[in-house]
């Protein structure tokens, strides 16, 4: 990890954070649902408008006539477009909103002092009755392809542990896919386990989707 630089992202760094999350979205794209037509990624621009992320450095934009990067198949018919979800601008708006929340932090990593951010992690804090202290939830750990195996991931998790300790947390938790063996290996190496709450059976993370309320 020598040379890797990590730091707490400041509000003015919302765009580099968002660019990394756009790359993360694209990495996960095959399993990500698409937004409803005309939904603008689910987030409307607030009064005064937020900065647009499309076209900013590091975020590819479709070439004119490229149909969003999808080539027309033989016969001249266009392939159906599949808009990325959330949209680039929705991600930026969400990052800016979260960075205004004192219970949320983004951490960034670069391979060295001269390189741009290549890794990101989000931390969210909430108070726990059972530990009489804040809990830290670690999510959205992502390192760009060109920076993998450089130590950025481990350095980000190390900084996350430091930040959680500084906030007085007694516990830090996360979820990951059981097939994501590189991530599991990293987290276990950093001391995470399926038995952080109890010494018996494994801790399980459960979830359920909630449909939007009808108007």
Domain that holds residue 154: 5-34+49-60+86-189
Reduced 3-state DSSP string for the chain:
CCCCEEEECCHHHHHHHHHHHHHHHHHHHHHCCCCCCCCHHHCCCCCCCCCCCCCCCCCCCCCCCCCCCCCCCCCCCCCCCCCCCCCHHHHHHHHHHHHCCCCEEEEEEECCCCCCCCEEEEEEEEEECCCCEEEEEEEEEEECHHHCCCCHHHHHHHHHHHHHHHCCCCEEECCCCCCCHHHHHHHHHCCCCCCCCCCCCCCCCCCCCCCCCCC
Residue 30 maps to a domain = yes
Residue 211 maps to a domain = no
Cα Dmax for the chain: 66
Residue 79 maps to a domain = no
In total, how many domains does the chain have? Answer: 1
CATH number at residue 124: 3.40.630.30
Residue 103 maps to a domain = yes
Token readout for 107 is 């951490």
φ, ψ of residue 125 in degrees (nearest 5): -115, 145
Per-residue pLDDT of the chain (215 residues), as tens digits, is 469 999 999 999 999 999 999 999 999 876 544 444 333 343 333 444 455 665 444 444 434 333 333 333 344 444 445 677 899 999 999 999 999 999 999 999 999 999 999 999 999 999 999 899 999 999 989 999 999 999 999 999 999 999 999 999 999 999 999 999 999 999 999 999 988 777 778 888 888 999 999 87
Residue 210 maps to a domain = no
Residue 182 maps to a domain = yes
Residue 207 maps to a domain = no
Residue 146 maps to a domain = yes
């Amino acid at each position: 990890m020598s040379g890797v630089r990590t730091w707490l992202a400041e509000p003015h760094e919302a765009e580099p954070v968002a660019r990394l999350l756009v790359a993360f979205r694209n990495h996960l794209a095959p399993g990500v649902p698409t937004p409803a037509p005309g939904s603008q990624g689910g987030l409307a621009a607030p009064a005064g408008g937020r900065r647009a992320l499309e076209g900013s450095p590091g975020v590819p934009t479709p070439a004119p006539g490229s149909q969003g990067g999808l080539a027309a198949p033989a016969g001249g018919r266009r392939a159906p477009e599949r808009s990325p979800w959330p949209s680039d601008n929705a991600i930026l708006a969400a990052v800016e909103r979260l960075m205004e929340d004192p219970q949320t932090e983004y951490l960034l990593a670069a391979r060295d002092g001269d390189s741009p951010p290549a890794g990101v992690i989000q931390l969210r804090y909430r108070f726990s009755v059972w530990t009489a202290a804040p809990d830290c939830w670690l999510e959205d750990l992502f390192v760009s392809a060109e920076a993998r195996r450089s130590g950025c991931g481990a350095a980000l998790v190390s900084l996350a542990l430091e930040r959680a300790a500084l906030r007085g947390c007694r516990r830090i938790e996360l979820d990951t896919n059981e097939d994501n063996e590189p991530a599991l290996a990293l987290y276990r190496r950093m001391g995470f386990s399926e038995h952080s709450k109890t010494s018996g059976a494994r801790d399980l993370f459960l979830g359920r989707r909630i449909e939007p309320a009808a108007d």
